[in-house]
Structure 1
Amino acid sequence: MSEESPAVGNASTGLERQLGLLECVLLSVGGMVGSAIFVFPGTTGRLTGPSAIVAWMGAGVLMTTIALCYTELSLAFPQAGGPAVFPYETLGPSRVVRAFASYLEGVSYSVGWAFGITVSALAIADYVGMIVPAASGHAVPIALTGIALSFLVNALGVSVTSRVNLVFAALLLAILVVFAALGLARADPANYRPFVLDGPVQFLAAVQVAITAYGAWTVIPASAEEIREPTRTIPRAIVASLAVSTVLYGLVLVALHGQVAPSAFVEGNSAVTAPLGVAATALGVPLLRDVLLPFAALVAIFTTMLVGTMSAGRVLFALGRNGTLPGPFGAVSDRFQVPWVGLAAVSLLASALATVPQYFFQLLVVSAIVGTGLPYAINLLSFVGLRYYRTDVDPGFRAPGGYALAGVAFVTLGVAMIGLGLTNVLWSLGTVALLTGVFVVRYLRSPELIVAPTE
């Protein structure tokens, strides 16, 4: 299958290797530490009390099982848009099957990110309304402005994106570290009792919620062609960013539960909807509550949008390059060395979705299932395919445990999907059916484009 791979090499693609270890780690951390840490601890606290600390850190460990499978795939095929490349290179002898799997993974991933960017942009509008009351009621214009800024920063090149993210991520981490330090120093041990509110089912539900906060590390395999020394940098960056995020989440959760009693996490209470704000109030630091945390939330959400636009744009670029999307998606800007068509497509879709904020919940569901669960499942199969079909490829890194690790990763994915209702599944199946229909129509009209990609 290797002879069918699209040409790889920076001279042929226009992409440049500009990302080092620090940039990759901060892109990943900046993408992960988004709005989730400002909202989800309230939900996990309601589900399982202070044991949510263990749930969040356990979720990070579980996500690492998936990430290790991706790491081996990334080093086997260190190409731009890696998540869409892996199934095309590994899933058996049929080129059409591999092309469909690549298309479904890549488009689902990108659509999922577009929905996630939309949700983030609408959340920015909410936070701006809190800080500037006059902005309340203008959610759509504010969201569209945020999406446009995210596109602009990405369109100026990967070095600009990484520098902006570096500054924002540093500010965000500093504020969260200050919050954690104050919360730990002033923690009341009585607030950690009872440590577990309910049984294992509720604890697993908390793990499910927490896992959704660990996903943006996929920006690293998506940007593999722009990473310096990928063999050394990719595994270190993926593991380090997950470790940093897991520890940071753990510290924030310990600080939060040290300030807020388990009894406060009840439906309708602000401890569920704005947990860090409640903890900051308990700390008695108005500057932290009224200025620093809202600013950190805005920064966190915007960095997630930056990373999502960057990742999805490169995955669509890979699909343009292997022929499963029209050729223009494989174009790279001569001046800024970015896959501008993919970036524009993701931003335009997110902008369109932002004009229907009444479907916020449905967007969140599709983002979680179609944009996260389905792509992970396809690439865990790609990991198995790499081990089974591609014995000609030596990645230089072997994920520990092999097939057993993939089994654990599938279980992890199952945990992340627990509790989906019928309506959620129907929305997601409808989206997958629509994407499949587009592929079938394109294949029937121009089969040669899919079975014989442009070199």
Structure 2
Amino acid sequence: MGSKNSKLGLFDSVHLLVGGMIGSAIFSLSGITILQAGPASLLAWVLGGLILLAYGLQTAELASRYPQSGGIFNFPAQLLGKTREQGRLWGWISAWAYLFGCIAGAAFSAIYIGIYLGVAFPALGSLQVPLGLLAVLLSGGLNIARFRITGRATTVLTLFLGGTLLLFAIAVFSSGSWDATQFVPFFTQGSGGVTGFLDALPLAMVAYGAIVALSFLVGEVENPNKTVPKAMAIAMAAVLVFYLTVLVATLGLVSAGFLEANEGLRYIPLYAAASFLPKLSFLTPLISISAVLALITTMIVTMALAAHTLLSCAENGVLPQFLAKTGKTSGSPLTATLVVVLVTGLFAAFPQLTNILINLGALCNVIVVAIVCITVLASRKKYPLLEADHFRSPGGKVLPVVTLAILVASYVPSILQGGWQLWAATVAYYLLGMLLYRGRRQGL
């Protein structure tokens, strides 16, 4: 791109989104979804993509009406609640969930960077935590320098990652080892049984979280009312093709039963699949290198979104004003980024927290999507007529209502089966959030 003040066009916007989405999930969380649902995990990934596309379109509608960066706070604050204070509370509930979703995504990406490098290069096996922390510092530094909108670098990296995924799939399909019988039975191989794909849905949704990056950075996008929705549709279609191709290839070699018996390979499923192809030994280090680059890309995007969320909350008086400080030359949210680096690093330093990071982060993302759906319904009620200069997502009221219904249905099995630890962690996290909110509102 040109100068630091130039706007993001369609080309750069698509590659920003694709680069953000091709990251931690396909290289790591895909193994957990296979463990839970077996071949039916494909349904979770398709459904997750559709839900997040709907979420992205609805967020774009809100962003076109309230074009402020950090909109995850501003949207519900403007439209929910009968009073300004109630709206601000809704904004904080949404922002608090989104904040953890972003930080959790960055933290387990850092953890997996250490895992991939440790597996691919045995000499680094004892340095997994330091490598993860180094990745956090690197991503934070690049965010301060606004590296995330460097179009040429994003394009090259995205093409490399896409090429690696396609090469992996072609190598698997042409190896003679891919086994179609592994897809039978389709629904009952995973640990979640027939409804396992619903258990896997929140995790699959994590893969597409960066679809809303343009909405939250709408002030940096050229002609956002047209560019944002078009870029989302193109990016989602491209990423979904990549994901399904890679997942079908992986499922032909790696089963849910295999991952159940080999716990250490659950978080590196593509590496596990490549290990079944000894004649293609180049694949395993290539996948490891690609995974590290993809994970760093994800970290850059998610940490940037977390910092913008903190910035927005500070600008609205919900968090201390020092979090609204920006860099003199880059204009990036300097103090907020440093806080995100610190918190992400603390989580990344304890790999034993991986499961809670994954599950609580996924649930927080679901909470955010649900609040956005409710906010869109409120917006449609307040503004029933479509103005010429505002984007409106297709489907009318059906889109947010159906999205909400699917989200609720996806959590019914886990609630009935008793996932109390996750809900306890969620309650504890929100109690902390409410203490911060009330303390700030009372001037403490």
Please indicate, yes or no, whether the TM-score normalized by the shorter chain is above 0.5: yes
Check if 1:431 corresponds to 2:426.
no
Aligned residue in 2 for 1:443: 441
Structure 1 unaligned regions, length at least 5: 1-14, 447-455
- Deviations along 1:317-358, whole A, 9 cap, x unmatched? 222222222223333323112122221221111122233333
State which of 273, 289, 300 in structure 2 corresponds to 1:295.
289
Check if 1:111 corresponds to 2:105.
no
Which amino acid in structure 2 is aligned with residue 181 of structure 1? I
Which amino acid in structure 1 is aligned with residue 380 of structure 2? R
Check if 1:325 corresponds to 2:319.
yes
Aligned residue in 1 for 2:58: 69
Check if 1:94 corresponds to 2:83.
yes
- Deviations along 1:355-412, whole A, 9 cap, x unmatched? 3333332233332223x12222222221122112345884622222222211111123
Aligned residue in 1 for 2:337: 343
State which of 99, 121, 129 in structure 2 corresponds to 1:140.
129
Structure 2 unaligned regions, length at least 5: none
CA distance in 2, matches of 1:130, 1:25: 32
Which amino acid in structure 2 is aligned with residue 150 of structure 1? S
Check if 1:197 corresponds to 2:197.
no
Instruction: Indicate if the aligned counterparts of 1:115 and 1:363 stay in contact, CA closer than 8 A.
Output: yes
CA distance in 2, matches of 1:292, 1:417: 36
- Residue 160 (structure 1) shift: 5.5
> What does residue range 78-227 of structure 1 map to in structure 2 within 5 Å?
78-158=67-147, 161-186=150-175, 187-197=178-188, 200-227=194-221
Aligned residue in 2 for 1:400: 394
Check if 1:276 corresponds to 2:270.
yes
TM-score (norm 1): 0.86
Aligned residue in 2 for 1:236: 230
- Deviations along 1:82-128, whole A, 9 cap, x unmatched? 22221122114411111122223223312331222121111111122
CA distance in 1, matches of 2:398, 2:423: 28
Aligned residue in 2 for 1:451: none
Pick closer, same or farther for the CA change 1:18–1:158 going to 2, 3 Å. farther
- Residue 226 (structure 1) shift: 0.7
Aligned residue in 2 for 1:11: none
Check if 1:25 corresponds to 2:14.
yes
CA distance in 1, matches of 2:308, 2:267: 34
Which amino acid in structure 1 is aligned with residue 379 of structure 2? L
CA distance in 1, matches of 2:256, 2:82: 55
Pick closer, same or farther for the CA change 1:393–1:344 going to 2, 3 Å. farther
Could you say what secondary structure the match of 2:442 adopts?
Answer: helix
Pick closer, same or farther for the CA change 1:390–1:155 going to 2, 3 Å. same
Could you say what secondary structure the match of 2:7 adopts?
Answer: coil
Could you say what secondary structure the match of 2:231 adopts?
Answer: helix
Instruction: Indicate if the aligned counterparts of 2:28 and 2:112 stay in contact, CA closer than 8 A.
Output: no
CA distance in 2, matches of 1:402, 1:69: 10
Instruction: Indicate if the aligned counterparts of 1:115 and 1:367 stay in contact, CA closer than 8 A.
Output: yes
- Residue 29 (structure 1) shift: 2.0
Which amino acid in structure 2 is aligned with residue 386 of structure 1? S
Pick closer, same or farther for the CA change 1:66–1:253 going to 2, 3 Å. same
Instruction: Indicate if the aligned counterparts of 1:117 and 1:308 stay in contact, CA closer than 8 A.
Output: yes
Aligned residue in 2 for 1:386: 379
CA distance in 1, matches of 2:88, 2:386: 19
CA distance in 2, matches of 1:289, 1:256: 13
Instruction: Indicate if the aligned counterparts of 1:211 and 1:416 stay in contact, CA closer than 8 A.
Output: no
Pick closer, same or farther for the CA change 1:232–1:158 going to 2, 3 Å. farther
TM-score (norm 2): 0.88
Instruction: Indicate if the aligned counterparts of 1:175 and 1:296 stay in contact, CA closer than 8 A.
Output: yes
Give the length in aligned residue pairs: 431
Kindly, what percent of the aligned residue pairs are identical? Answer: 28
- Deviations along 1:396-446, whole A, 9 cap, x unmatched? 222222222111111232245452611111111111111111111111228
Pick closer, same or farther for the CA change 1:350–1:281 going to 2, 3 Å. closer
CA distance in 1, matches of 2:22, 2:202: 17
Could you say what secondary structure the match of 2:330 adopts?
Answer: coil
CA distance in 1, matches of 2:76, 2:6: 24
Instruction: Indicate if the aligned counterparts of 1:17 and 1:225 stay in contact, CA closer than 8 A.
Output: no
